[in-house]
Structure 1
């Protein structure tokens, strides 16, 4: 900052105290609540509930939240006001607290239909990781943020309660940031309990949320295997649709902006979204239409900005931040577009959310609208408390769309002992095939006991040479059974190299000749040989590290099995989601990942795939894009399958009743 004054009077807004919902209950009265208000209702538990965005989505889809759990006192006060049931202040990171929760829910044993939740996501998000690094470096923060492990607490509660259905929401980085290891682990453990699972990266705007917001949604159910979402909408709910009807506020520099209660007059034309938000709200006024005071220099800056303005466009005399470091410090929103994603940072400042016409930042009510909280929904605490709760919430309309996919199916009951999930079956066949190939001529393509760091190094270095499989096999045979590189093996590799490119790759091994100790430290080899990222990834995979190999060959296999084009359109997002269904988790995950690479490089080719040789042909949804005779040959002699589950097609048939 170049100026060291606040520019507005420091103030703390009043603290809104909210009474509990008339149908809320204390733990000691929970058994009575179940026999009263909760009787004959479809019950859910919301973990890490915050203010209740996901709870509201569940409610809109037909569930009653019997219990919500969070550690934020103000958020729980908000939840208790807006929902029935118990609002429990607990730190689920502690096993003894989960024991306590299990005991409290004992009266509802067998009655909890769904467990939902969004384990705290800041450590997974890019912004969150950056903030934590700063706290570790400058403020002594423990580098192991326990919030990143709260997914384990979430999964533990699911295992204890064994609901029919499970819903988890988080930021995409929960998957994308760590090769989906957390998601793969959760899916595999749920499948072992008899749940069919589904993971999606969802653009919230496609379900009516007026903002750019991509979320990761994991669904699971143990009653039916085929389930899908309602169709996505192509129509965007714009910012004008969302907040255009809210009253204009007088804005003067340094003066109070808005108030807890503000007069509201419904305009002649009201968007369908705004009409939905106004249901059950007072007709004459709107609550919490208030925001921070505006500095004089900010008023001038906001006045000159458009939705296209960058912070570097701001008059240098008015800048308070380094324009190179804070490239997007200010953002004026556009009436005709979606809002920027509302995050908890709005509790610190509103510079990312400048009103399109009024020289101020968004109000609490406007932020709530953009998150799809209706106007009747109040937030406990101060203005900053409200902003934080809103920014941390799951948009209720997104939660509703996800929950609808989990509605019970008329006439179906949970399968005794659980389901045999489709993708688990696919992985079992893939593992069996890979284990057999590992014992034969393809041993050098797959991790296992026969694969030493030396062989993995040779394969990784030669991976970009376009050698034919037989040529690569001949070269690797020169070091088969060896654990260190001597002059003899080095010379044999050079002699076996059929091309100049292959010889140049072997030449890179000269720096590690006759260094037997090096090969005992597998992790040091990529750095010692200055492997390129793709080479290092393949090396790690072949030495048994659990990771995703994001190569075109494997992505193509996954896309065809899912009936999608994610290998060509969204490789790093939807492509990886499709891939993780096949890779799974556990000790055999690296073997399956390497097997998918092998299949993609040999038989599942981009053109003229050899379906007759593919071990996964019977599961291929993309059969319309391959020669019908090849596919028919591949299917002959295989064990019968009436059909491929709809969830494998990417646009699965929705069987759950919708409300």
Structure 2
């Protein structure tokens, strides 16, 4: 790209999934034009992860820097010691993430000032704004929770209006292109009885309507459906903005609304994403990770006791499944022996993984497995996990519903037979892409049971991160619970990279005169 660097302003950044994907896009000359100038995130543990990754991007091309980073991953140094060895890069990383957590709406003076500085320093070169306002007020689950809150008023919930903070940044930065992501529920969310999405679209097309700052107009494109009129893009249905990640190399059914805004003076029509013929599966991307056992959450935890309990459970499960599946007789569900609850040894070459994901996950192979530690479960739930995983294996990939569980495995849950919790226990089938990884994975593992009954457990943070397509050397900071939340709230970086390529092609067309 003859224009040099592209300034990226990353809003509501989370642990950095969208920024990771965009910044990893390589141009035809081998350069990496997208450079993140600022990432804004308010949650402290996600902010810490974001800063660590910003630091990694600044030292990764240095043999010495990469060696020290890998030593940090191995536990040889603390994060503070690592940063102290590279004070210049550490300072740049901290500045990139505004030193401390910041929230749009609460800390606008400092955030807007920094963005203005960056825009002024960047001059006439291209710039991009990325990010998606938090989804709690739009998501179906969030709206269900809100409905149960006494005197809840959607028009008074500030989260419904965080997109207006995005508009303010558009008016300050006036980027060539913006990428805005949100949950599917934004398409149907209502305020005062009116669907909000049409108004959000109109405001994004003309931010000045809200900000009262002179701002160019934007054309809003879908990344998966061709526009009826590229000069004034319109679509037959709002679901045309919905991206189904499993169609684009992500081993997960993550369906998100992603809008591509293009400033009105930018020429050319952005192409849509290229669908992949084959979908990636859970087993393909998890099979090479070290096998682990679960633990006990309500009693003393030892390998011997776990093996005894899970072995007894295997006998019960096999007996129960014989009534439903003829081939259950030959099923081996006995627990693997001498498993640990965490593992960090290097990974063997992942032979099952699709080629495009091998390169993506392992491009800068870490010296150890990160964030790969199991949690403890109630002993009664271990039996249900074993049953669910074995049932899913025998059924060819169908996770059992509540009505498939024998009565003596039913939990003491008043809604178990109501139908509202039919998926209370859900195995991520080996031969399919996973269901959506959400922040709920931080609360319990019931919706994210590992497909291998011999391990009898829920997914680790690293396994969830694999399903989200985070590279293997992506270090998640904070407690394990905080790490789960970060992964569940993120944008899949591999999908973000594909979006970044579309943006780069459009900028190349405008700034270098070549398609």
TM class, shorter-length: 0.5 to 0.7
Which of 488, 492, 511 matches 1:391? 488
Which of 36, 40, 60 matches 1:69? 40
Q: Which moved more, 1:325-334 or 1:73-82?
A: 325-334
Q: What residue is the counterpart of 1:238 in the other structure?
A: 281
Instruction: Report the 3-state secondary structure (helix = DSSP H, G, I; strand = E; otherwise coil) of the residue aligned with 1:220.
Output: strand
Question: Judging changes above 3 Å, is the alpha-carbon distance between structure 1 residues 182 and 400 closer, same or farther for their aligned structure 2 residues?
Answer: farther
CA contact (8 A) 1:221 1:406 kept: no
The alpha-carbon deviation at position 371 of structure 1 amounts to 0.3
CA contact (8 A) 2:251 2:467 kept: yes
Question: Judging changes above 3 Å, is the alpha-carbon distance between structure 1 residues 141 and 97 closer, same or farther for their aligned structure 2 residues?
Answer: farther
CA contact (8 A) 1:301 1:315 kept: no
Q: What residue is the counterpart of 1:412 in the other structure?
A: 510
Matched, 1:316 2:431: no
CA contact (8 A) 1:167 1:403 kept: no
The alpha-carbon deviation at position 132 of structure 1 amounts to 2.5
Q: What residue is the counterpart of 2:309 in the other structure?
A: none
CA contact (8 A) 2:180 2:259 kept: yes
Q: Which has the larger radius of gyration?
A: 1
Q: What residue is the counterpart of 1:165 in the other structure?
A: 177
Superimposed CA distance per residue, residues 450-475 of structure 1 (whole angstroms, 9 cap, x where no aligned partner)? xxxxxxxxxxxxxxxxxxxxxxxxxx
Q: What residue is the counterpart of 2:360 in the other structure?
A: 276
Matched, 1:184 2:184: no
Q: What residue is the counterpart of 1:126 in the other structure?
A: 140
**Greater relative contact order (CA < 8 Å, ≥ 6 in sequence):** 2
Question: Judging changes above 3 Å, is the alpha-carbon distance between structure 1 residues 398 and 81 closer, same or farther for their aligned structure 2 residues?
Answer: same
Alignment of 1:638-657 (within 5 A): none
Matched, 1:52 2:16: yes
Q: What residue is the counterpart of 1:144 in the other structure?
A: 156
Give unmatched runs, 5+ long, in structure 1: 1-38, 415-654
Which of 220, 237, 249 matches 1:197? 220
Alignment of 1:111-510 (within 5 A): 111=125, 113-134=127-148, 136-137=149-150, 144-178=156-190, 179=195, 180-189=197-206, 193-199=216-222, 200-222=241-263, 223-251=266-294, 253-254=296-297, 255=301, 258-259=341-342, 261-262=344-345, 264-266=347-349, 269-272=352-355, 273-283=357-367, 285-305=368-388, 306-307=391-392, 308=398, 309-318=400-409, 319-321=411-413, 322-323=415-416, 324=418, 325-357=420-452, 358-407=455-504, 408-410=506-508, 412-413=510-511
The number of residue pairs the alignment matches comes to: 376
Taking the aligned partners of 2:465 and 2:46, their CA distance within structure 1 comes to 14
The alpha-carbon deviation at position 231 of structure 1 amounts to 1.9
Taking the aligned partners of 1:347 and 1:383, their CA distance within structure 2 comes to 8
CA contact (8 A) 1:43 1:112 kept: yes
The alpha-carbon deviation at position 193 of structure 1 amounts to 1.5
The alpha-carbon deviation at position 258 of structure 1 amounts to 2.7
Taking the aligned partners of 1:141 and 1:320, their CA distance within structure 2 comes to 34
Question: Judging changes above 3 Å, is the alpha-carbon distance between structure 1 residues 142 and 405 closer, same or farther for their aligned structure 2 residues?
Answer: closer
Instruction: Report the 3-state secondary structure (helix = DSSP H, G, I; strand = E; otherwise coil) of the residue aligned with 1:44.
Output: strand
Q: What residue is the counterpart of 1:630 in the other structure?
A: none
Taking the aligned partners of 2:480 and 2:465, their CA distance within structure 1 comes to 12
Taking the aligned partners of 1:656 and 1:203, their CA distance within structure 2 comes to 30
CA contact (8 A) 2:4 2:125 kept: no
The alpha-carbon deviation at position 311 of structure 1 amounts to 2.4
The alpha-carbon deviation at position 51 of structure 1 amounts to 0.3
Taking the aligned partners of 1:65 and 1:229, their CA distance within structure 2 comes to 24
Matched, 1:87 2:97: yes
The alpha-carbon deviation at position 282 of structure 1 amounts to 2.6
Give unmatched runs, 5+ long, in structure 2: 26-31, 59-92, 209-214, 223-240, 303-339, 393-397
CA contact (8 A) 1:175 1:183 kept: no
The alpha-carbon deviation at position 353 of structure 1 amounts to 0.6
Question: Judging changes above 3 Å, is the alpha-carbon distance between structure 1 residues 170 and 291 closer, same or farther for their aligned structure 2 residues?
Answer: same
Instruction: Report the 3-state secondary structure (helix = DSSP H, G, I; strand = E; otherwise coil) of the residue aligned with 2:38.
Output: strand
Q: Which moved more, 1:95-104 or 1:180-189?
A: 95-104
Q: What residue is the counterpart of 2:336 in the other structure?
A: none
